[in-house]
A and B are shown apart, each in its own frame.
Chain A
């Protein structure tokens, strides 16, 4: 038989158990601070993500540090701005908290009204940088590359630029503008070679090889063309004989391998890992109302022997 105090103790014991149960299995009494996971969608201008491998590593690193969930989205069609803007709307409707966009058309994408923060990776010159933007100054990069090429360029050496107007992004256009300007200032001319429907640049290389003007210097509009050109030189010794040097930009593994093999003479690179990292960081800052600041990225010129330099090694082969 329980006495009065026994009953009180029993009731207290049960209440205690109930409270403990509620504490352990629900968040009704002690609320755990909810850590918000931000959904960030990244929409690039390309149909493939091959040229974004270091960028993605940086993004993944930031995703872990800033507790974000990243969706990486490529377009169905290269440089299709309409499609890119549709995807921006779709991601906003699907609950994305912020967007990071590599614009297919800077003007149109920058002018698009969105209710969530948008971080743009702009190819524009540094002076045009605004809040929420990460700027890679491709015009300056083009100038930098051209000046390096001219340092060792004998008078009379023909300079060709391999281009593909059907796949010309804002980055490509600014890069070429920078190259043209620097060569013009140096009193040199750059001749354009357009990509042919069939065979790409193979015929062009054969023609260059047959010229009697001596060895030529070749510049590539973008990573894809640079990789293609280096591949042609690797397969065709006769074509390689007519080429004094092949230059361009990019940090993809095939480009770095070709640089290491001596098929590419020099490239301009940016710290793509940091660009990926900063873009996520800026998006989180914007979401937390911390005020995003424009970030302007530097570019560097490197040749084969620089690949083993610790500073460039970290930049080109980042460890996640």
Chain B
């Protein structure tokens, strides 16, 4: 009997030993020495690298990262990838960023409604995400306290765009109502239908014109997906369909406004006012030469700085910088300004 008891005790001891050894082995694998960070790695995925505005922001991010590196002495490595308009590609890029050990992700989502997979991966890996330019839906943003968004207030943008025309109309009605019939006939160039800014910009720029008592009439409108070439083709068609009618082109961004200008130049049509949004480099050049009546520009330097500083703070697990106050601890809205062509300003 005692031999049986001894044998049972030995078996239990063996089992316990096995469990202990297993636990030790597993625990040993997870031990990693915490080190003070002297470098950070930021994974950046752009929805489309050929978008002029996004390209501007990318350049500023690169500059600001170098500035941050010089000032703080912390090495900043940027991994910048172009998702080429594919959410699937962007998801793969996020996985690669995480496997490469990025400390933080800066994502310009392809599909703002479909960021859940990115958030899942980031949450699992414990990597904070700074979204920018295309705002994920609120439900997704509320899933984790390490998700941030940097962009512009689309309604503010649209109101400023509308105010630009209202101001000009009040000063010189004939500069807007070119044919003097008491009605400003306009066409509308819209961005992607799935982009929140496109819908809000379209609605509020027109609303601001109405609120400002500008007598407007919509001739037609169309979606040109933020692209110059598509906008140019639409405008060419409208010029053929509505000759000598269009007085104002309202565009959701500068690239499409430039497309409209291209079509106007090809058709040799003069005097039509074109307004855009973004203040891109080509947009500002067109503004300078008087081809573009005006644009609304975000403070892009601040936009880029906010992305880099916020990302760096997240990566270093430091307190977020107070220069960039966050609404609801999540959103940073970049200030904007109206830029009007000098030719119209000082006729």
Binding site for B on A (CB under 8 A): 1-2, 7, 10-11, 14, 17-18, 21-22, 25-26, 28, 47-50, 53, 60, 69, 71-72, 74, 76, 90, 94, 231, 235, 253
Does B14 make an interface contact (CB < 8 A)? Answer: yes
Q: How many residues of B contact A (CB 8 A)?
A: 25
Also in contact, A18 and B18, with CB within 8 A (given A25-B25, A26-B29, A235-B289):
yes
Binding site for A on B (CB under 8 A): 4, 7, 11, 14-15, 18, 21-22, 25-26, 29, 39, 49-50, 59, 62, 66, 70, 75, 77-78, 81, 100, 285, 289
B59 lies within 8 A of A11 (CB) = no
B-chain residues with CB within 8 Å of residue A60 when the two chains form the complex: 81
A94 lies within 8 A of B39 (CB) = yes
Distance of B143 from chain A, by nearest CB (Å): 30
A-chain residues with CB within 8 Å of residue B18 when the two chains form the complex: 14, 17-18
> What is the chain A residue whose CB lies nearest that of B77?
A71
B100 lies within 8 A of A69 (CB) = yes
Residue from B21, B26, B77 whose CB has the most chain A CB atoms within 10 Å: B77
> What is the chain A residue whose CB lies nearest that of B80?
A72
B22 lies within 8 A of A18 (CB) = yes
CB contact between B75 and one of A2, A28, A48, A94 (< 8 Å): that residue? A94
Task: Sort A-B residue pairs by CB-CB distance and give the 7 closest, nearest first.
Answer: A18-B18, A71-B77, A235-B289, A26-B25, A21-B22, A76-B66, A69-B100
B285 lies within 8 A of A235 (CB) = yes
Also in contact, A48 and B26, with CB within 8 A (given A14-B14, A94-B39):
no
**Whole-angstrom distance between the alpha carbons of A69 and B29 in the complex?**
24
A10 lies within 8 A of B11 (CB) = yes
B-chain residues with CB within 8 Å of residue A14 when the two chains form the complex: 14-15, 18
Distance of A27 from chain B, by nearest CB (Å): 9
A-chain residues with CB within 8 Å of residue B15 when the two chains form the complex: 14
**Whole-angstrom distance between the alpha carbons of A158 and B58 in the complex?**
40
CB contact between B25 and one of A7, A28, A48 (< 8 Å): that residue? A28
A-chain residues with CB within 8 Å of residue B21 when the two chains form the complex: 18
> What is the chain B residue whose CB lies nearest that of A57?
B82
> What is the chain B residue whose CB lies nearest that of A41?
B77
CB contact between B50 and one of A7, A71, A76, A253 (< 8 Å): that residue? A253
Distance of A57 from chain B, by nearest CB (Å): 9
6 contacts between A and B (CB under 8 A): A2-B7, A7-B11, A14-B18, A18-B21, A28-B25, A235-B289
